[in-house]
Amino acid sequence: MLTTLGVVLPVFGLILLGYLCRRGDVLGPASMAELNRFVVWVALPALLFDIMAHTSWSTLWQPGFVLAFWLGSLLVFAATVALRRALGRPLADASLDGLNAAYPNSGYMGFPLCLVALGPESLPLVTIGTILTVCVAFAQGIICIEVGLQEERRPGRLALKVCRALARNPLLVAPALGAAASGLGVGLPAPAETFLKLLGAAASPCALVALGVFLAQQGMVRGRDLNATLLLSCGKLVAMPALVWLLAVAMRLPTATVHTAVLLAALPTGTGPFMLAEYYRRDARVTSATILVTTVLSVLTVSLYLAWAV
């Protein structure tokens, strides 16, 4: 538990910092939107480009791990979207809920936790899991949100409008350009490398501070929003890791690979859904509460898994 707590505490610290800065009026009422705009349009695209530009195609060739982790995430995402749609949620909001239940904080928490708990040999798989989360799962959510926001219902024109919207989205364009640079073997000069790493490193901290500002302005959820938060938290902390474990065991993956996949799947909800909620001007109350609740509860759930498995 101390290992997990040591990884989670900095996340809490950044959220608390944003909360206190807003309560103390150090950051103004527009700061949350401005911080999030910086993350979505500047810092996160730099991070996504940098990740993809430095990932060779051969590194990604871990088909068993990729299938178990990605399929587990996809199934939880799809089931959550279907359930929330059945309860009357618009597709855009249901898609955000799906990400809340299937978007682990693998980039920010996965590397230090897996390094301590599973050793350095787990880090290549953590890199793949991070790419699947911040690029593939993110893209799935964005596509569903864009489809839900379009008023056009004729299939051909709807597809054209969605494609145009996606082509303008920096969170899809940046990793696509990074992948192209990697595939073509294009290297960046050292100053550009440093620039991207410095800029990309600001993405998660700024998003967590923005989340704290949001919580200070909106407060915690109640009623139906609280029920939704608990449902999505169960999906993230219980359903996704259990499903990934079943898939990984069914594929007879090596024990170390199974533990890495499950540990990544068991991480709390990352800040990606919150960024998208603000970017698309959707209600972020359930999303922010889910991030907070899963981060708190993950200290217990992740520690229990480590005690049982490692």
pLDDT digits (tens, 9 = 90+) for 59-107: 677 889 999 999 999 999 999 999 999 999 999 999 999 999 999 988 7
* Integer Cα distance of 231 and 80 in angstroms: 9
Q: Any idea which residue has 């364009």 for tokens?
A: 173
Structure-block tokens of residue 249: 């065991």
pLDDT digits (tens, 9 = 90+) for 230-288: 999 999 999 999 999 999 999 999 999 999 999 999 998 988 898 888 888 888 889 98
pLDDT of residue 298: 86
Structure-block tokens of residue 299: 């200290």
Structure pTM? Answer: 0.79
pLDDT interval class at 2 (50, 70, 90): low
> Is residue 229 predicted with pLDDT exceeding 80?
yes
Between the alpha carbon of residue 174 and those of residues 166, 179, 183, 189, 237, the distances in Å are 11, 9, 14, 18, 29
pLDDT of residue 217: 79
Query: 4-13, 151-160, 214-223: which range is least confident on average?
Result: 151-160
pLDDT interval class at 220 (50, 70, 90): low
pLDDT of residue 50: 85
Instruction: State what percent of residues in the chain have pLDDT above 70.
Output: 93
